Amino acid sequence: MTGQYCTAFQVLLHAITNDASTITFSDGRIHIAGHVVLSATNVMTGKTIIVNASGPAGITADGTTIRLEGRTLLFGEAGFFGPGSPAELSAAVGVTIVDLTTGTILQRARNSTDLCPLLA
């Protein structure tokens, strides 16, 4: 998947390993867990970073929010995480909560690294 996740250049995201599994509970909650490793590549230069994005993650029963825990990758073009939000490509460790109805990040992990300068 290629997108303008960094302001100055496009980034290609590719799953190197995706051994994630999904469990849907009877009340509608969804739990996603497993080993996920992604590559993020600057399309202009070919520079690549490998990211462990194994989570886990959980989606609420009503489908309105997702709770990302552990190691995750946040990516979106400008406006993806709500009106006026900048493009983003970041590796996070900790808890991030996103409102799936608006894309707004409700809570950010305390430990987050902007990957765009590393790919520039």
pTM metric for this prediction: 0.89
pLDDT tens digits, 11-27:
999 999 999 999 999 99
pLDDT tens sequence across 47-94 = 999 999 999 999 999 999 999 999 999 999 999 998 899 999 999 999
Q: What is the largest CA-CA distance in the chain?
A: 47
Cis before residue 56, ω within 30 degrees of 0? yes
Domain boundaries, the chain: 2-119
CA distance 36 to 5: 19
